[in-house]
Amino acid sequence: MEKRKEVFILSSITYVMKAKDLLKSKGIKCETIRVPNSEVLSGCGYGILIHEKVDIAEKILTNANIKILEKKIMEENL
Task: Read off the CATH number of the domain in which 10 is found.
Answer: 3.30.70
Taking residues 61-75, what's their average pLDDT?
A: 90
Q: What is the pLDDT of residues 3-37, one digit of tens each?
A: 789 999 998 899 999 999 999 999 999 999 988 76
What is the band of 49 on the pLDDT scale with cuts at 50, 70, 90? very high
Number of domains in the chain: 1
Percent of the chain with pLDDT over 70: 82
Pairwise CA distance, residues 76 & 78, whole Å: 6
Instruction: Give the structural domain span for 14.
Output: 5-74
| Contact (Cβ atoms closer than 8 angstroms) between residue 73 and residue 4 | yes
Helix (H, G, I), strand (E, B) or coil at 44: coil
Residue with the larger pLDDT of the pair 41 and 57: 57
Find the length of the chain.
78
